[in-house]
Amino acid sequence: MKAVVFHQHGGPEVLRYEDVADPKPGRGEVVIEVKATSINHIDIFLRRGMPGVKVPLPKIAGSDAAGVTREIGPDVADLAAGQRVVINPGISCGRCEFCSAGYGSQCVSYTMVGEHSDGAYAQLLKVPAHIVVPLPDSFPFEEAAAASLVFLTAWSMMISKGNIRPGEDVLILGAGAGVGTAAIQLAKMAGCRVFATASSDEKLERARQLGADVLINYKNEEFDKKIRELTNKRGVDVVVDYIGADTWVRSLRSARRGGRVLTCGATTGFAPQTDLRQIFFRQVQVIGSTMGSHREYMDVMKCVFRGQLKPVIDRVLPLAEAAKGHELIENRSVFGKIVLIP
Ligand SMILES: [Zn+2]
């Protein structure tokens, strides 16, 4: 099969489109013919290499996929070859203390598709059968592959852990990222007022079309000051921050007394300075989240399949142009997701 492989860590140029051996399904596994995959930040981190994380090379990245089942391994009960499917991009064991309690994303052996095994930047993808979910007949592969990771991330963080409620003010930082476009829609669905930040007026206009109520261009103004001004010094009920080092201090300042700051990533760096007084004196709750359980995946995808939540696709590229896609995301010149078609 054809796949996008990297043999060493580095910039987008290390991604090579080449021939590799077809995967074979083992016990409890399924091989899917990938019709669409999409780029996530984890793919970029894996490509660059992360301190303290050993990535087996050569490597095929990619966590999101939708396609058609090609080959079913032994001991898989309810799947047949030729079915339209989408995958939950997270794999949990189903047996540990945390899985047993229903918190699959806290699994002691939690891993992403494409993290320790080969991923979806390929014509064929091998995954455990328990993460494979049937895709409704008329639902486009591109949208399914663009939705899974970002909507699962936003749903678990905001609905389950962040407990956003009607009438609350929610600040979403970096509205143009995949998770940002999902977070805006979820907050609107929950009946919140949405404050969105982005680096350009063009992206803010797109955010407005998704439902954002108040727009802040963070290149022109300091967003925490703007939030205090707009809310009569009160601050917002909830801040959604996956930017990390560049925004953390201002995120804490933007939350109201007793507000919540939700974090599910740190694309600009993971060791920001924290003034602890902003947390204890103002009684702000910091809530961490990563991915979500299979229950949450089924819940959010139900809304996606019904059209209540719609993945935002910036563009669709052939898989062979994965490097270009990485470059566009690293330059922040996209709004929403980049989908790759093998
Ligand atoms: Zn587990």
Note the pLDDT of residue 207. Answer: 98
CA–centroid distance, 295 to ligand 1, in Å, is 14
Q: How far is the CA of 68 from the centre of ligand 1 (A)?
A: 27
Rounded to whole angstroms, how far apart are CA atoms 67 and 161? 31
Between the CA of 94 and the centroid of ligand 1 the distance, in Å, is: 5
What CA–CA distance (Å, rounded) separates 146 from 317?
13
**Per residue in 254-291, is it b (16+ CB within 10 Å) or e — as a string?**
bbbeebbbbbbbbbeeeebeeeeebeeeeebebeebeb
CA distance 93 to 154: 22
Q: What is the pLDDT of residue 260?
A: 98
Secondary element (H or E) of residue 196: strand 193-198
Question: Do residues 124 and 325 lie in contact, with contact meaning Cβ atoms separated by under 8 Å?
Answer: no
pLDDT of residue 128: 98
The reported pLDDT for the residue numbered 51 is 85
pLDDT at 52: 85
Say how many Å lie between the CA of residue 151 and the centre of ligand 1: 21
Nearest C-alpha neighbor of 122 from the set 42, 59, 55, 34: 34
331 CA distance to ligand 1 middle (Å)? 36
- Whole-number Å distance, alpha carbon 152 to ligand 1 midpoint, is 18
pLDDT in tens, the chain (342 residues): 999 999 999 999 999 999 999 999 999 999 999 999 999 999 999 999 988 888 999 999 999 999 999 999 999 999 999 999 999 999 999 999 999 999 999 999 999 999 999 999 999 999 999 999 999 999 999 999 999 999 999 999 999 999 999 999 999 999 999 999 999 999 999 999 999 999 999 999 999 999 999 999 999 999 999 999 999 999 999 999 999 999 999 999 999 999 999 999 998 888 999 999 999 999 999 999 999 999 999 999 999 999 999 999 999 999 999 999 999 999 989 999 999 999
Instruction: Kindly give the distance from the C-alpha atom of residue 292 to the centroid of ligand 1, in angstroms, as a whole number.
Output: 12
For residue 117, report the distance from its CA to the centre of ligand 1, in Å. 17
Q: How far is the centre of ligand 1, averaged over its atoms, from the C-alpha of 100 (Å)? A: 7
Residue 177: which of 271, 274, 90, 247 has the closest Cα? 247
Q: What's the 134 CA to ligand 1 centre distance in angstroms?
A: 23
How many C-beta atoms surround the C-beta of residue 34 within 10 A? 29
CA atoms of 342 and 337, how far apart (whole Å): 16
Burial of 187 (0-12, 13-18, 19+ CB in 10 A): buried
Please state, in angstroms and rounded to a whole number, the distance separating the CA atoms of residues 149 and 291: 7
Measure the CA–CA gap between 221 and 224, rounded to whole angstroms: 9
Instruction: Give 21 Cα–ligand 1 centroid separation in angstroms.
Output: 30
Distance of CA 96 from the midpoint of ligand 1 (Å): 4
Give the Å distance between the CA of 110 and the centre of ligand 1.
7
